[in-house]
Amino acid sequence: MMTGAEIIVKSLEEEGVDVVFGYPGGAVIPLYDKLYDSSLQHVLVRHEQAAAHAADGYARATGRTGVVIATSGPGATNLVTGIATAAMDSIPMVVFTGQVALPAIGRDSFQEADITGITLPIVKHSYLVRDVNKLAATVRAAFYLAGTGRRGPVLIDLPKDIQTAEAEFFYPREIHFPGYRVPGEPNAALAYRVTKAIGLARRPVIYAGGGVISSGAAEQLTELAEKTQIPVTTTLMGKGAIPENRPLSLGMLGMHGTYYANYAVSQCDLLIAIGARFDDRVTGRLDTFAPQAKVIHIDIDLAEIGKNVRTDCFLHGDVKAVLRELLKHIELPQTEEWLDQIASWKEEHPLAYRQEGERIKPQYIVEQICDLTGGEAIVTTEVGQNQMWAAQYYQVTKPRRFISSGGLGTMGFGLPAAVGAQMGCPDQLVINISGDGSFQMNLQELATIVQCRLPVKIIILNNGYLGMVRQWQELFHNKRYSQTELIPVPDFVKLAEAYGIEGRRVRSREDVRPVLKQAIEHAGPVLIDFEVAKDENVYPMVPPGGSLTKMMGG
């Protein structure tokens, strides 16, 4: 016999969980009491939102399911942004929230919130546990749902009296859900049809998204691209699906994508979308997106097929399984002329910026980080200009090395995500690239970094603005800079030192590389405040609602 709290801990151990991220409170005290003697490592964040982002970063870096614990009421509602972030990017996460005792539910009790109702649109599934005898099976089901099919967050709401009630422990291995089906082997006939279409193409492009990373299919994608000599462009979530220093890599496409990626997609005759959902930041104007192309869509979620862009042929299934099937019978297209055209675009329109005197350009900082790490560090980003410069100039060479909030665009994501990534990959170099605005959203997690002795390197691209909003105000709102100048800007170096972290400030371009090198070699955490050009914009840029071939700047 075990209490509900003991059942949860034992169930987590059965799932092979090694670390959980959380923040205690009244409604989860019984659970935290049992964590005290468990084998699980608990990371005490300083805000519940950071717990969700840390579990998210852990999941993205390791491929395993992240685990979060928070108390009822405000503890649970503080998780909402993190849960939504994970849901938009299909990240596996199991979230445990405390709840008032069963007899008190629905009575506006102290710290009561209907968290299953609040999170209904942003979870894959949720449970309010009413019977302790079903608790172990519920945990098993939650992990199964979170980590299969199109992955995502699952929430388990735990009334306090369920945590103290007793039941016999039995952890089921088999889980059956009526109506829930994980795709099996891909349709061989459709796969054959796809290989025929590939063989007939003359200007094909592979468009790879986060589904390639989630399924662990980067190796198969790279093999497909190199066998067929088809160039590959990725979404923000797909960075690392193919080494970006390879000739076949076109980098990122879309609003801030490369010139050659956007032109290749606009002129291709076959577009093979793999684990991607045709987001509006990728497509621009839908009626001008890949207008000459037949579209093949490979995805694990049938709901994405034809949702935004018409599809001529689709393969439903796990990306790795589908690519393995295609590789068995692949037919080789003739792409020599097409690759020559793309090489010409790359030469004529590279990613570029203008260096002006000793002013530090943020692109230069990212270039130096990439050069010093060989593109093999795990980089987490915040959201805004810092995110786009990182996406453009940090060439990722391996999957799960670029961690960023894609669909929701969550400021404050990067620092706690770095905590999770470092916990999951203790032997890897983890670097957080941040803007001064985003950094201030969850800067309290510097305490978590110190407490857990995590050697995270924090890079602040400090321009004194909410930079991406300022850029849009400059370009589309007649330079009416409404509420985007961040005054006062705190002394980030003193802030780091207040937490016991080494802080450095860099004002000169010549100091960028040596300070970065020292930080990378330093055994502990380091924060570097780079004072960058205040008016620098992210280019190229497709104006909102514009066509991919109508890019500004760059």
List active site positions.
48, 110-111, 160, 468
In degrees and rounded to multiples of 5, residue 64 shows phi and psi of: -95, 170
CA distance 385 to 435: 7
DSSP assignment string, 329-375: S------HHHHHHHHHHHHHS-------TTPBPHHHHHHHHHHHHTT
Residue whose tokens read 């860099």:
506
Residue 114: exposed, middle, or buried by beta-carbon count in 10 A (0-12, 13-18, 19+)? middle
Do the Cβ atoms of 219 and 323 come closer than 8 Å? no
Query: How far lies 245's CA from each of 192, 226, 373, 398, in Å?
Result: 31, 13, 13, 10
How remote is the C-alpha of 375 from its chain's centroid? 17
Say how far apart CA 507 and CA 486 lie, in whole Å.
18
- Quick one: angle between helices 188-200 and 319-328, nearest 10? 60
Helix/strand/coil for 502: strand
Helix then strand count (H, E) for the chain reads 23, 20
Instruction: Give the chain's end-to-end CA distance (angstroms, integer).
Output: 66
Torsion of CA 142, 144, 150, 155, to 10 degrees: 10
Q: Single out the residue of 385, 386, 384 nearest to residue 409, CA to CA.
A: 384
What does the alpha-carbon distance between residue 22 and residue 45 come to, in Å, rounded to a whole number?
Answer: 6
Q: Tell me the helix, strand and coil percentages in the chain, rounded to 5.
A: 40, 20, 40
Beta-sheet strand order (sheet of 66-70): 41-44, 19-23, 66-70, 93-99, 153-159, 125-128
Q: Is residue 207 a contact partner of residue 276, using CB atoms and an 8 Å limit? A: yes
CA angle 207, 537, 379 (to 5 degrees): 55
